[in-house]
Structure 1
Amino acid sequence: MWGRMWGTRMGKLTAASAKALSKPGLHGDGGTLYLHVSASGSRSWIQRIVYEGRRHDLGLGAFPAVPLAEARRRAAANRLLVAAGGDPLEGRRRAKVPTFRQAAEQTYQSYRPRWRSEKVAAVWLQSMERYAFPVIGMLPVNRVGREDVLKILTPIWGSKPETARKLRQRIRATLKWCMAKEYVAHNVAGELIDGALPAMPSVQAHHPALHYREVPAAVAKVEGSGASLAARLCFRFLVLTAARSGEARGALWSEIDLEAREWRIPPERMKEGAEHRVPLPDAAVAVIEQARPLRDRSGLVFPSPARANRPLSENTLSKLLRDLGLPAVPHGFRASFRTWASEQTNAPHAVMEQALAHAVSDPYSRGDHMKKRRKLMKQWARFVTSGEA
């Protein structure tokens, strides 16, 4: 039966025939058991088994250290385990489950090539070293619970809100990596944890912003300035998408899908630690097209003209606005957009918040609302480029 399931006819091996096999490949013994002969002549037992709808190749040991009879016994035990609803991979997973520190370091290494700043890379691990590792660093990731994460975040949630938000994002990203590797079944630092955290204090700092009626003139003033093409295009893109400065300056060509007319910002570049899909109106697509001549090896849409393969500096856009006498900072244009959307459109609250990549507390309002957001950004682009409400 097992031979027919795999589409091959498999004869039983003997100890002598197994020892005599020299042709590289898989040689079936029946019952999902195979002897694998490598190109170098070494032999090992492999069991091909279906678990939860997926085929897995389980290593059962080297031959002849594991003789034929023992390999058959191990294969039969795995088949019985699966038939009883057990997990044949559990022992293997348990043996290789990393500690939270090890998983965080692996996550850090996987994200590092995407970061454009050594400062960002350094801070990522520093916050884990200070707050997370003393509590859960040595725990296997499958033993980290929601209470452990709350124990880390709660003491600083009110006193250091920005640090706490970013730390939550990093813990969440680490456990998401663990889920992808099948070390954990659930992300205990996921959205469900937010309801158990105390209220986040209001942000005291206010970013200088223009009244939304002044935005079209400001955009035109920047466009007519002597700033670099990268700076002018980046600023225009930032305003049209209501993005944060770092998100716009770090935009990559790989994040842009012109066919879908979307900008997909990955979790590691977002404040909330979740992918953000930004609908691109015609005016934003035009900016992307105008940026094509700037393309270099960095993959950045708006690379710095002064620093090869690097993004525009954090100060570039702020200085540009100051030099033009505009009493605003780049982040302030998000506030201008939000006020405009509230006063000039009938967009639902959740749609406006999602356009700004803000967390939406209402579980019934967490849908992507992409169609409504696309309409909203189209209206905003028309206002920014023409002044028409």
Structure 2
Amino acid sequence: MESRANFAPKFMAGGTADRLLTAEIMPSHARNKLSDRRVQSEKKPGLYGDGGGLYLRIRPSGRSWIFIGTLKPKGEFRIKKTGPGKRIEMGLGSALDVPLAKARQRAAEIREMLLEGIDPRVERLKSKEEAKPADDKPVVTFGAFAMELLDSIEDGFRSPKHRAQWRSTLKTHAKPLLEVPIAEVTTEQIVAVLEPIWLTKRETASRLRGRIERVLDAARVKGLREGENPARGRGHLELLLPKSTKTVRHHPALPFKQVAEFITGLRQRSGMAARALEFTILTAARSGETRGMTWAEVNLEERLWTVPASRMKAGATHEVPLSDRAMAILNDLKNDKVQPHHFVFPAQRSGSLSDMTLSAVIKRMQQTGITVHGFRSTFRDWAGEETSFEREVIEMALAHTVASSVERAYRRGRALEKRRDLMTEWAKYCFQEKDTEKG
């Protein structure tokens, strides 16, 4: 167990705050006691010393870096004092935004100033004054910039409803950020906005995070911000927000451990609706995408189904790799009479199947409390909990919009083959308890 010296400044016997021993006079070998892992994982409130005057302060409201040391007179710099020096305590920023290495660098700079008899607090004020623009430009707030951005991109929205949702989400759930200067929005502030709805309204929270990220990205492009985006999810907020103990969903879903049994029962049923439902499950597609599927969208040779942008919710073309069983379903339906414009899963009389037709299959199987769309959640739960596929691959398989530039590059690269492997594994999982009948 570490001694108190590792967590807080030492006090002299009978000590009071003004008798604090200075951190900067500690020997060099007593420094660098913290690790990145501990900085991220330590939960207990208190002061945790790294040495050399640098401390990690953990409070219920968050964690931050502080420097504690002593200013002694040197040269022409004089102060009135009654003890060996004047205590200095300075904040060095949030531990969520300032990594350990950067905090150590800032602490080293402060120690240098103290050795020269310079008050670092005075220097900080001077720097802020010098950094102020010559003219009195109004401060741009997050809310004002977000609305300005929204006005400039609103022509790209699918519908007026989507535009309204953008505004409503920010005004309702990001209200604490609206009056914050766009240049000063921090990770801690974003976490405080997302955390209350992260588990209870996961879809809304996820959209909100993406919208905040987009606003801050645009602000950086316009020169209103510097540094990394504090709203980025991967490798950042995903490590800080609570893990969901259960998937929050609007569409009741079958637990993935029951999907193989369901598929076994489904394959005992004949009819176009049963095959369409099975195909929908195997491809993790939306019901409407399957029901509106035409033979022109299918490339049997490349084992690929390409859904045009006009039929996709996100308005972007979506490629679906086809597993052996998905291919078997298509090969059974293919014949010399079909034309490219024909539906792959036609209704009995004419046109495409209705959504109620697929739902009726589930009801006839005596399955209550689940929906066709819910099988997408079943797939996501399975992929997230039972496989090691990257989150980007899973989200792309579900045709979800991928926001970051890194993920968009991933989409253009090797993601298709990764998704093919993912859908193959999903098909194997769905048929792990199947009988010996061949597709």
TM-score by length of 1: 0.48
Which structure has the larger Rg over C-alpha atoms?
Answer: 2
Please, what TM-score do these two structures have when normalized by structure 2? 0.43
